[in-house]
Amino acid sequence: MMDKYTLLQKIGIYVSIALFLLFMLLPFVEMFIASLRPLTHLFSRPDVPVGETMTFMDFMSRFWSDKMSFQAYRDMWVTVPQLPRYIFNSVFLSTAVTFFSMCFIVPAAYAYARFNFRGKTISLTLFLAVNMFSGAVLLIPLYKLLRMYGLLNTYWAMIIPGVAFLIPTGIWLLKSFLEKIPYELEEAAFVDGASRLYTLRRVILPLAVPGLIVVGVAMFIGAYAQQFLFAITFNQDRDYMPLPAGIFEFIGYQDVLWNEMMAASLVGILPVLLIFLFMQKHLIAGLTSGAVKE
């Protein structure tokens, strides 16, 4: 009863959702259309005679052409031969960041979820406070640090800061997952004489797999999204460049090859989009579980 809508309300809801989604997806639509149009069409702009207003047909002809094709998706590999490398780098960097950050997140999240110990609240607060500092604020000393260890212009220059800035969020997310695993299981293992580490490895970890996957995917998406800043400041080597930085090469040529740039961008976001598509149900439920609890 309460959830029934009149026809008018229903239409209102769907129209509002459509408008909301239009805002969320408009850039992707524009990128896709631009990637299909030949460069000549992309830069043609039939002038509307002075005194006349632009009609809907004028508008359409500017964004629609008979010569639309997927040509840019073929040409982009030729224009920027390094493109596969950039995409590989992006995926590789994110995978490495996810792996290393999980190595630090899992034990710490376990400790926060399971034990009451001295300094628990204060240290957790300090971890979360790290979110206040963006990488941009710490660039100078980080640059110095990486140079000191000779890590500039290597994968490590992007992996190390990437890992560090994801750890706090990861701990917080995984903690709320681990808190849901009943403590009795652990006690039972303990009574049977299992050591703490054995319990962690053999009892908790298998039960935590769904949570681990969700947090891992969240870390991967985060790492994939945040490559730009560290890439443009700590790395000049084109061999290690991730896609968001490498894509600027399309700008370096005589004219900006916008259609190929858009095509490359869309291909470059496919890895995360696919992962999200497969995981979205768990991911959305997992990411928000901490928010609902209170």
Partner 1 sequence: MSNLIQMLKPKTKAQTTTLFAWALIAPAALVMFWIVVWPLYETFRLSFTNSNLGTLMGGAEFVGWENYEKAIGGRKFPAIVTRTFYWMFLSVGLKMILGLIGASLLASNIRARGILRALVMPPWIVPIAIGCFGWLWLYNGHFGLISNFIEMAGITDGPFSFLAYKQSAFYSAVVTDVWIGTPMVTLFFLAAMQGVPRDLYEAAYVDGASRWYRFRRITLPQIMPTIVSMALLSAIWTFNSFEIIWILTEGGPRGATTTLIIDTFKTAIFSYKFGAGATRAVLVVLILGIFSILYLTVLNRLNNKYGYAGVRK
Per CB under 8 A, contacts with partner 1 among 39-68 are 42-43, 45, 53-56, 58-59, 62-63
Minimum distance, C-beta of residue 197 to partner 1, in the bound complex (Å) = 9
The yes or no reply on residue 89 touching partner 1 (CB under 8 A) is no
How does 244-267 read in b/e, with b if 16+ C-beta sit within 10 Å? Answer: bbbbebbeeeeeebbbbbbbbbbb
State the Cα angle at 155 between 152 and 159, rounded to 5°: 100
In this structure, what DSSP letter does residue 245 have?
H
CB of 202 to partner 1, least distance (A): 16
Counting residues that bind partner 1 (by CB under 8 A) gives: 107
Choose the stretch contacting partner 1; rule: CB under 8 A; options: 17-25, 65-73, 80-88, 174-182. 17-25
Counting contacts by CB under 8 A, is residue 263 touching partner 1? no
95 phi/psi in degrees, rounded to 5 = -65, -45
Q: Indicate whether 27 belongs to the interface with partner 1 (CB under 8 A).
A: yes
- Which 272-291 residues touch partner 1, going by CB under 8 A? 272-273, 276-277, 280-281, 284, 287-289, 291
Q: Which stretch binds partner 1 (CB under 8 A): 28-36, 68-76, 174-182, 205-213?
A: 28-36
Q: Which is nearer to partner 1, 188 or 284 (CB)?
A: 284
The closest of 265, 223, 270, 259 to 246, measured between CA atoms, is 265
Residue 224 in contact with residue 271, Cβ under 8 Å? yes
Query: Residue 93 and residue 220: Cα distance in Å, rounded?
Result: 9
Please list, in sequence order, all residues whose beta carbon lies within 8 angstroms of the beta carbon of residue 1, skipping any fewer than 6 positions away. Answer: none
| Residue number, 66 or 144, with CB nearest to partner 1 | 144
Of 104, 153, 179, 190, the residue at the interface with partner 1 (CB under 8 A) is 104
Of 174-233, which residues contact partner 1 (CB under 8 A)? 196, 221, 224-229, 233
Rule CB under 8 A: is residue 116 a binding residue for partner 1?
yes
Nearer CB in complex with partner 1: 207/282: 282
Candidate segments 75-83, 183-191, 207-215, 257-265, binder of partner 1 by CB under 8 A: 257-265
Of residues 150-169, those binding partner 1 (CB under 8 A): 160-161, 163-165, 167-168
For the four alpha carbons of 51, 57, 60 and 62, in that order, the dihedral sign comes to negative
Q: How many C-beta atoms lie closer than 10 Å to residue 149's C-beta? A: 11
Name the minimum Å distance from CB 165 to partner 1.
8
Contact 194, 259 (CB under 8 A): no
- First-last CA distance in the chain: 29
By CB under 8 A, name the one of 67, 74, 88, 120 that touches partner 1: 120
Least CB distance to partner 1 at residue 74 (A)? 20
Contact call for residues 226 and 165 (beta carbons, < 8 A): yes
Q: Any contact of residue 83 with partner 1 (CB under 8 A)?
A: no
User: Residue 46: which H helix or E strand, with range?
Assistant: none
